[in-house]
Amino acid sequence: MHLTNSDLLKTQAYVNGTFTEAKSGATFDVINPYNGEQISKVTDCGAADTESAIQAASAAFKVWRNYTAGKRARILKNWYKLQIENLEDLALILSTEQGKPLAESKGEIKYGASFVEWFAEEARRIYGDTIPGHAADKRIVTIKQPVGVVGAITPWNFPSAMITRKVAPALAAGCTVVIKPSELTPLSAIALAELAHQAGFPPGVINVVTSSDAKTIGAVMTASPLIRKISFTGSTRVGKILMKQCVDTVKKVSLELGGNAPFIVFDDADLDKAVAGAVAAKYRNAGQTCICANRIFAQADIYEAFVEKFTKAVKEQKIGSGLEAGTVIGPMIEEKAVQFVEAVVADAKEKGGQVLTGGRRHGDSATLIYEPTVLTEVNREMDVYKKEIFGPIAPVFKFETEAEVIEMANDTNYGLASYFYGRDYARIWRVAEALEYGMVGINTGMISTTVAPFGGIKESGFGREGSKYGMDDYLEIKYMCWGGIE
């Protein structure tokens, strides 16, 4: 991997302002999912290393919380500028370890950096209130204070943006952080730590604990009384485990978990725009995002036309290495991810589903690239209806009425993202309000932005990231009652 700034390709954990090896000396391999080659060996931290990082963050909190909002903002702005200046290198690292197309990686770096810029500005707007007193001699004031040390546990599918989306508001609020990135994509996290080091954060404010043993690190974080908040993005199964583990120390918790996003196309939709939106919502990052369209619903009158146009667009996507120009579909992250989508497609075929395109690995049996797939003749009994697919598989269901599709769309324990296309404004309001999801895309397949609150309901979690609401989970409200004022 040829980088302009070779300092970004580090392989050690970052604790208390220093890049360091694990106390055990252990390492683990980071693999390029496109070709299976080893990229590097990375420090494999354990429980003792995590405790050291938590202690460093706790000590640094006493300093960082007392910085003025303006001073914190200036350092965050430095971090933002360094990310933009090193965009090409950061994207190359990301694509190499994660597999997504380079164009998507560049977009992720910009998106991730935008949270740092946004929350640098929000640091100055942590306002309290004065409240009319309940007695003549009383005055009431509220202030907001940082919650404390934050444990951030992040996934592999957006290894840069999922860090900045959590860490930037925490730092802006005056918290310090211990980050546990995915063992599949640790290099992006370490590169961000290097830039944070250059940006001027005091030692211990940002710590990155790389490890192949997520279970142990998570257990240490959730058990530690010094960590006052856990922010996790990942599967609903793991989120529930972490939530249970936080009970004994009564931590604040925010969870961004799985999804089963419906994508609805009504009979008055602009079909060409709906097709483009469906392709964008379904196949970015090879379908490996929590807000990817999972179940596509097309109304009966336009079903055949939509399927024809959609399948044609899917067939036109370039497949290959994420580092090759024009690639749209790169490899999935690991073998078990491919095996899961293979099982999902096999289940659909066994129950009468038809494969219009794709439905297999691209090339030899060892590849992690799964061809973008369209399924029809699908029904509620299939795994493609019930499970989060997390791969480039698009089942297209037929529906008759608005009431029917709303019932089907909401027929899931998940409630993260949803999408629909149509032109009837009365129906747009009805459907948007009826969908049981934290986010609704109306005539668009792209909903992620720094300025809007990202998050779900039901078993997709709680808490919001981004927007002015993104600061809330990192702050505590303190009420002061002043008496004796006469």
Calpha distance 435→308 (Å, rounded): 27
CA angle 57, 60, 66 (to 5 degrees): 135
**Distance spanning both ends of the chain, measured CA to CA:** 71
Give the residue from 155, 153, 146 showing the smallest Cα distance to 175: 146
Residue ranges of alpha helices (H) inside 123-174 are 161-173
CB 389 within 8 A of CB 412: no
CB 448 within 8 A of CB 454: yes
DSSP assigned state of 249 = T
Distances (CA, A) of 97 to 176, 183, 186, 292: 27, 10, 8, 21
| Count of other CB atoms within 10 angstroms of residue 12 | 18
Using the structure block, give the residue that is written with the tokens 């994207």.
91
H or E segment at 197? helix 186-199
Decide: residue 51, CB within 10 A, 0-12 exposed, 13-18 middle, 19+ buried. Answer: middle
CB 399 within 8 A of CB 299: yes
Residue ranges of alpha helices (H) inside 351-401 are 383-386
Among 97, 122, 183, 256, which one carries the catalytic annotation? 256
Indicate if 436 belongs to the active site.
Answer: no
Using the structure block, give the residue that is written with the tokens 């931290």.
45
Among 45, 175, 290, 292, which one carries the catalytic annotation? 290
Calpha distance 189→195 (Å, rounded): 10
Indicate if 290 belongs to the active site.
Answer: yes
Phi and psi at residue 363, to the nearest 5°: 95, -140
Catalytically annotated residues: 256, 290
